[in-house]
Amino acid sequence: MTRWHSRPVGEVAGRLSVPGDKSVSHRALMLGAVADGPITVDGFLEGADCVATRRALEAMGATIESLGAGRLRVHGRGPEGLRSPDEPLDLGNSGTGIRLMTGLLTGLMLDATLTGDASLQSRPMERVAEPLRLMGGRVTTTNGCPPITVEHGPRLRGIEYSLPVASAQVKSALLLAGLFADGETVIRQPGISRDHTERMLGALGAPISFEDALVRLHGPCRLHGEDIVVPGDFSSAAFFIVAGLLAAPSGLTVEGVGVNPTRVGLLRMLEAMGGDIELVKLRHASGEPVADIRVRKSHLRAIDVEPQWVPLAIDEFPVFFVAAAVADGVTRVRGAEELRHKESDRIDAMARALKAVGAEVEARPDGMLVRGGELRGGRVESRGDHRVAMAMAVAGAVSRDGVSIEDTGNVATSFPGFAESSASVGLAIDVEQTP
């Protein structure tokens, strides 16, 4: 196991880039594997989650060629190019991987068992399995969780489905199944969620339309080969955005970050708190908006986070809670019960971690109340959750005595080299191997 010691620092500054977007990387692999023709992927995230998706596709016959750091070529041979795997597919710790793969394999009418590590096997999967069964899929879970079994059957049929909660993973699983279904798949959401799947499907030639919370896909359809550029992961940039707002009087810039409107809820929340944030060099890559994000140390004030912001910042709440813990006043988050079903129960994990370093917080069923003040420092448990670990590393940088974080190995799932990237802008994280 790995332990981090995040030491307090006087100032952070400079420029850095972050690894490729994990959400886009997963989708590039899966859609590339069923496209008609090769797809080159630039900026691919070589973290453990995306590597697990790659290995699962290769176990089904996909040919994926490494071209150098962050570059791959996926040799798509259409939906006929994948076969039922001989062994269970291990998706590691990846909720995105297992949910999207379940939709893909159900649509392809393959036989497979999908599983993962102990953490993944505790996460809810009926939210995906139930609508896939409505499409005609033969999908079973294990007490509502992985392992998941998919069995071949007749071709799926498109359905109209209203999601109980806004979820990009469930929506994407249904769209991947809908690629091979007869008729139209229509998905209605109670709010806006990430639209990476819709954008990439459109770029690869799928007959899809999407606006606000409504998506329509006409199946069955085929995808053509189209090279994909993966932007820097906004969720990874979030740790440095908050670090800069707390400790960069001369400014800190994160370069080449994806700023998809369905992903930047954190920016809206931090701006509402008084954060000095600027997007520069706006451009597009493979249908995704990209920018350099420049931040400066700011006097942050508490806010009430509205429920409609939650889906647009769902992965950034751990580090947002750190910002709230040093802001003036009481920040309230509600409508975020989805945080209890991530790699850890992130409401409970962050409440316990922040309390351990001196913050005054109150965990609630669907969110948290955070009273801003000084962070003393101390020892915390990450629960094996990469985003909890990185968030508390930021907390250590602005604490009085520093923060020791247990069990940080899972950071490699989304941000290999986080400690080294942090050092390049002035954060001080000592890495220790423990028994």
Q: How many other CB atoms sit within 10 Å of the CB of residue 14?
A: 14
Whose tokens are 């899809």? That residue is 208
Count of residues making up the chain: 435
d(CA 292, CA 254): 6
The residue among 184, 209, 229 that closes a domain is 229
Answer yes or no: do 199 and 264 share one domain. Answer: no
CATH number of 429's domain = 3.65.10.10
The residue among 229, 261, 296 that closes a domain is 229
Tokens representing 63 are 């040919």
Q: How many other CB atoms sit within 10 Å of the CB of residue 75?
A: 16
DSSP label of 206: -
Answer yes or no: do 13 and 38 share one domain. Answer: no
Q: Which of 151, 26, 155, 20 has the alpha carbon at shortest distance from 100?
A: 26
Cite the DSSP H helix spans in 189-303. Answer: 196-203, 234-247, 265-272
Domain count, the chain: 2
Q: Residue 92 in contact with residue 120, Cβ under 8 Å?
A: yes
The residue among 190, 209, 229 that closes a domain is 229
By annotation, the residues acting in catalysis are 315
Tell me if the pTM is above 0.75.
yes
User: In a structure prediction context, what are the per-residue pLDDT tens digits for the chain, which is 435 residues long?
Assistant: 899 999 999 899 999 999 999 999 999 999 999 999 999 999 999 988 999 999 999 999 999 999 998 999 999 999 999 999 999 999 999 999 999 999 999 999 999 999 999 989 999 999 999 999 999 999 999 999 999 999 999 999 999 999 998 889 999 999 999 999 999 999 999 988 889 999 999 999 999 999 888 999 999 999 998 899 999 999 999 999 999 999 999 999 999 999 999 999 999 999 999 999 999 999 998 889 999 999 999 999 999 998 888 989 999 999 999 999 999 999 999 999 989 988 889 999 999 999 999 999 999 999 999 999 999 999 999 999 999 999 999 999 999 999 999 999 989 888 989 999 999 999 999 999 877
Answer yes or no: do 158 and 169 share one domain. Answer: yes
d(CA 211, CA 192): 9
Cite the DSSP H helix spans in 179-264. Answer: 196-203, 234-247
Which structural domain range is residue 319 located in? 2-20+231-433
